Amino acid sequence: MTEWHFYEPANGHGLAHDPLNAIVAPRPIGWIGSVSADGVRNLAPYSFFNLLNYHPPLLAFSSNGWKDSVANIEQTRAFTWNLATRALAEQMNQSAATVPGEVDEFTLANLDTAPSRKIDAPRVARSPASFECVLTQLIRLETRGGEQVDTWLVIGEVVGIHIDRAMLENGTYQTARAHPILRGGGPADYFEITDAAKFAMKRPG
């Protein structure tokens, strides 16, 4: 017989670490590049992130607190998403440091930038895939009772996509070839996608 640990989030989880983001995991990383109206570059990873729509392509990330990424995107209405890989894991982690707004995280993490074509926000040059995004909605989240919380949902339309051609085979993007990393739960857990973890399953007709 299954024994269940049940809790109501409003009353606390009663565990060593909040299990919420370990259960909904692993999660793709929103490695977001932006630039302020004054020209200060910013790069930060967000684990509350995902693709939302095909046509037009829409993606979103949420920020716990009004952080530099959100402020920059509100000002300029543009940002990039950059694929975080195992080879870039340490630099991605460095870009998560809490630093003053005038600090350039690209420089902090020793990352070269690449220019975007449709927007002004910078890309991570070594990332094998990057999206150029234009803000469509900036939403402050609310509780079920309508109380605002200090979390901001940023939705952007993808207007340009950069792919390292080495990631393509016969016109198909090879997901595992880039060795993308995903956020797990607990204080420090990440996962790497490799071909060994792949299985195929087609949708019913």
DSSP string, 53-117: ETTTTEEEEEEES--HHHHHHHHHSEEEEE--BGGGHHHHHHTTS---TT--HHHHTT--EE--S
Token pair listed for 46? 């967000």
Residue 186 has pLDDT above 90, yes or no: no
Residue 185 confidence (pLDDT): 87
Smallest CA-to-CA distance from 44 within 98, 85, 87, 88 is with: 98
Model confidence, pTM: 0.95
Token pair listed for 34? 């932006």
> pLDDT band for position 175 (50/70/90)?
very high
| DSSP 8-state secondary structure symbol assigned to residue 165 | G
Residue 72 has pLDDT above 90, yes or no: yes
Mean pLDDT of 50-58: 98
The owner of tokens 């983001």 is: 21
Mean pLDDT, the chain, rounded, equals: 97
Residues 164, 145: Cα–Cα separation, whole Å: 46
Mean pLDDT of 75-87: 98
Residue 187 confidence (pLDDT): 84
